Amino acid sequence: MTRNLSRHIFRILTGIALLTILWGCSVVKYSFSGTSIQPDVKSITINFFEYTAQRVNPSLSNDLTEAIRTQFRKMTSLEQVDMDGDMEISGAITGYDVRASAVTANEVAAQNRLTISIKLEFTNRKYPEDDFEKSFSGYADYDSMQSIDAVESSLCAEIIEKLVDDIFNATVANW
């Protein structure tokens, strides 16, 4: 009986050792933030998002760019560099539109929707098969009794948060 117990313990310890070795040698690094960044990828360049939308919001490019940089600082250990990072994010704000999203029986807008659209280009210099170009958009609704000027900054902050999550997930979380 002691011999069977010894064999059983040996098998368990061997299994644990093999799992530890396989985990330590894995090709992709996983973290608690949900990212899957290869271990040899050390830096990222996040370029300023240009503003090409017809309707003007003078602070949106800066706000979006800084929010993306902050997210990567908080959620990854990648060093942010001005140029030639192992990964690179660039893009443009292509749409900034306000439209009615709900209409009353009298054909009057009950709610309006602010929509922000961006085009993103992601480059992974170490793993070019991960490169992509993709469009993202986010929106927030507000009561039509309010002017866009009164709610614009809070709506933009809400939409930027959604866009940053989408960008982060698409680039390094592989969702």
Report pLDDT digits (tens) over 40-82: 999 999 999 999 999 989 999 999 999 999 999 999 999 999 9
**Torsion-angle region of 28 (φ positive above 0: left; ψ -120 to 50: alpha; else: beta):** beta
Name the 3-class secondary structure at 149: helix
SS3 string of 122-148?
Answer: EEECCCHHHCEEEEEEEEEEEECCCCH
Instruction: Characterize the bridge pairing of strands 132-143 and 79-80.
Output: unpaired
Domains of the chain, start order = 39-173 (3.40.50.10610)
pLDDT tens digit sequence for 27-36: 444 444 456 7
Nearest to 93 by CA among 62, 130, 126, 132: 62
* Residues 43 and 81 sit within 8 Å (Cβ to Cβ): yes
pTM: 0.77
